[in-house]
Structure 1
Amino acid sequence: MAAPLLLSLGDPAGIGPDIALGAFMLRREARLPAFLVAGDPEALKARARRLALDVPVAEATAEDAAALFADALPVLRTGPAFTGGPGVPDKSSAACVRAALNAGMDLLEAGRVAALVTNPLSKAVMYEAGFPFPGHTEYLAARAARPGRPAPHPVMMIWSPLLAVVPATIHIPYAEVPERLTVDLLVETGRIVARDMARRFGLARPRLAFCGLNPHAGEDGTLGREDETIVRPAVAALSREGIAAVGPLPADTLFHPEARARYDVAVGMYHDQVLIPAKTLAFHDGVNVTLGLPFIRTSPDHGTAFDIAGTGRADPSSLMAALRLARRLADAEAEAGSARAATPPALAGT
């Protein structure tokens, strides 16, 4: 039996418990893969009662989760109890998030789960508790570091069947974007996107479209020089490496259906440039995928939504998409690993 996915519950004051329960309720009709929740089982039971959901919650390990999944939501108890309430985070929220993440990474590194799916956390809550990382992604990159080897460069991709986008810079003020953009950053981002789209998504030669930073991609430098001095040289360098990259392209004409048919991933210069079209086109089907890590991590494409936690209004669609995609990528990577292992040594370098 295949190893289950590990779902980190996220902030238990948010909609993480709601969507975990909702996904489990829809597991058969949505054909969801088996997953093990890391978090406080009592928090899930309390939320199920509040939402009047008949969801049996069973404490489990990675080894028995898949067998339990048909009849009960398997939960790995990861330490501190949640003492807040729906929409009301307290000091226990951050402790619960950290314990679930740590337990999930331990299982992932031991090969006992196939991939990591993370429900939303609140950055403000985590920062107040002394969390030293900007978010999930940076924490996961730090955990993936090894002695003598730097932490990997994680790349955030929002994927849906309609559109895949990558912001080269993520959660920084817009005023800082031009100074953070460099040729090296864009080249490294492009390499990681091309590699992981080939290895995990099965695209032989992924097509990358780079947005311009400025309106109309700078109009040959008349609306800003960054597109000529940073974006264009980065695209040229990637092209010389054999990566199918084009740009800089005007972002305002890059997301209609005819344009989307010409590329596999749009690489934006800043967060909102590509996340606005991605969330407009596929808000409920979008999945946050972290590229560049030595393991698979996906996440719903939304936040904690404290305002609707415990109301029954949370939609589990994005979480279900994240679970399905995590299983697909884990299976693809396992198949690729098996193929490499079966390749005769004489052919391995050809």
Structure 2
Amino acid sequence: MKRDGADPHAGAAPEPASADPGQKDISTQNEPGAHGVLWSLLKVLAGASSRALGAIGVLLALASLVFLALRLLPGDPAALILGDTASKADRALLRGKLGLDLPLWRQYLRFVWGLLRFDLGDSLARPGVSAFGEVGRALGPTAALAGSAVGLGSVLGTGAALLSVGPWLGKGREWVHRLVLVVAATPLLAFAPLATFVLAVRLRWVPLPGDPGSGASGLLFASGLLALPLAAQVARIGRAALLDQARAKYLDVAQAKGASPWRVWVVHALPVASTPISVVVAAQLGALLGGAVVLERLFERPGLGSLMLNAYAARDIPVLEASVVAAGLLFVVAQAAAGLLQAAVDPRGRT
């Protein structure tokens, strides 16, 4: 009796392989050729080039808007900068230094050429100091504030997401989720002054805004406030991603093997859910930079936001132009990084 699945020709000699030169080896049909690899590389380069051109276009549009806004305002900029007591000769000298005596189209070409060379002239408030030099010194404190906020927001948001789905709080999980929704719906300008009044003025738990001796504690408080909107977004997206993983079979296997809730959620589920969390952090970088500019003014901290507002108050046109363009550049780079990360983790976003 023949066994099921047995080959009736098992004892026969094997037939020689076909010598047909047109027949292709099946094992090599799925191997990508050199043209396929080259085509994929060209698609990646085309997508990156498209994003880069879009970012350059946005930055140029922002710079042009700043240029026109500063030059189309009513009044003589030289008179606003020097005051009413300045002589006509001093005003004419300043207009020549800023190029305000040139036609508008020549002023614009000069402005764009200065942007390409990172040279918009010297600060009017600090003669001999370049405008972009002032911006470079202000970027450090802003980067420290924004970087601390990214770290705190990621940690707080991930922790809130775990508490809202894990078994540690029982019915309190819903209260964590509701608190996250409240924070997400509250603008930064609404709770930052309130938190400052309660914690700094009434309770004296944190240093007052503008305190020169605040140091690390002042940075921690400011970055903590800036981190709250990011933490709320991370908690919302992280909770949804963790709930999706809760139905995965590998978590059932881990629980069946006696893994603790901490190990199930933190060791097994969280790494898989970290991809959408990373995407939302990257997508919020632009808003985070905008919030940093606002908080710098509120807490009287040095940085790009304070430099921008001080330059506006002093009518320091070169520094104001350089600071606004630098802020726009940071925003564009942050959005481009978010787009690249989204395309990397989601194949549907690749072009």
What TM-score results when the alignment is normalised by the length of structure 1?
0.29
Structure of larger gyration radius: 2
**Greater helix proportion:** 2
What TM-score results when the alignment is normalised by the length of structure 2?
0.29
